[in-house]
Amino acid sequence: MSQRQSKSEAAGNRESERRRTILRAAIDVFARKGYHGCRIADVAREAGVAYGLVYHYFKNKDELLETVVETGWSGFVSRMRAVAEDEGNSLEAKVRGIADVAFEAYRVDPRAVKVLILEVARSPAGTQVVSRQQAFLDTIRMAADMFARAQGTGELRADLDPMLCASLLFGAIELGLTAFVSGLMEDRSPEALDRAKLQIAESFLRGVLPGAATSAEAAWKQEKVSSGTRPKAGKRS
C-alpha cells in the first residue's frame, strides 16, 4: 500500500468516519435517554453534525438503532458463539468465557452495553423489527443448546431445564451489569468488575454443576492463595 490513499479511499474513510461519529453519538444518546426518549436532533447535536446528515447515512431512525444494535451485538454474539461452541472447552470454561465476553464488552463500552440491555433485551414484541428481539432470544437459545449438550456429556445436572439454565446465566450477567450501569455498585473499578465477574460465574457454576463443590471452585479458592493453574479458562492470567 502506498502511503497516500486514493481519493476514493480517502473519501471512503472520511465517510465512514462521519458515519462512525454519528453511530457513536447515537449510542451515547440512546444510552442516556433511550430510543424513544431522544430525537434525531439530539443525535445530530451530540455528533456535532447537521440535522439532515443523519439521514444521509441512515435511512431512518429505526435503521440507526438497528445499526447500533447490529454493530454492538454481532461482535458480541459471534464472540459468545465462539466460546459456546468451542467443543474443546469444558462447560465450566464456556460459562467463564461467556462471562468474560460480557464483562469485557462492558469494560470496553459500557454505554453500548446499556443500549443493548435497554433496547434489545427488553422491549415489547410487536414494536420492533423482528431481528432485534430475535437476536437476543437466539443468543439465549444458543446457550440453551450449549447446556443441553452439556447434559448429554454429564457436565450439567440432568434435572435442570437447559433453557432455564441459559436464562439464569444471562439473568445473572445482565443484572450484574445492571448493578454497575445503574450505580448500585459504587466501586466501578476494573478490579471490582473482575471480582463481580468471577463471583457471578462461580456462583452460577456451583449452582448448576453436578456434585458438591466443583473443582473450579476449589481451584478458584486455591487461586486466592497460590497461583492455581487452570486449563485455558478465558482471559485469566
Partner DNA sequence: AATGAATGAGGTTTCATTCAT
Partner DNA sequence: CATGAATGAAACCTCATTCAT
Report in angstroms how near the CB of residue 53 gets to DNA at its nearest: 4
The letter for the amino acid at 91 is: L
Regarding 232 and contact with DNA (CB under 7 A), the answer is: no
Regarding 102 and contact with a second copy (CB under 8 A), the answer is: no
Rg (CA), the chain: 21
Please say whether the beta carbons of 146 and 85 come within 8 A. Answer: yes
d(CA 83, CA 43): 35
The letter for the amino acid at 45 is: R
* C-alpha dihedral sign at 115, 118, 120, 125: negative
Which of the ranges 44-52, 70-78, 158-166, 222-230 carries the binding residues for DNA, by CB under 7 A? 44-52
d(CA 222, CA 233): 15
* Sole binder of DNA in the list 11, 82, 137, 164 (CB under 7 A): 11
Residue 152 grid cell? 448429554
Report in angstroms how near the CB of residue 30 gets to DNA at its nearest: 11
Interface positions, 6-65, toward a second copy (CB under 8 A): 31-34, 36-37
Number of H helices, E strands in the chain: 10, 0
Cα dihedral value 115, 116, 121, 127, nearest 10: 60
Residue 65 interacts with which of a second copy, DNA, none, CB < 5 to 8 Å by class: none
Residue 122 interacts with which of a second copy, DNA, none, CB < 5 to 8 Å by class: a second copy
Regarding 62 and contact with DNA (CB under 7 A), the answer is: yes
Regarding 221 and contact with DNA (CB under 7 A), the answer is: no
Which of the ranges 53-61, 150-158, 210-218, 222-230 carries the binding residues for DNA, by CB under 7 A? 53-61
Binding site for DNA (CB under 7 A): 7, 10-11, 14-15, 18, 38-41, 49-53, 55-57, 59-62
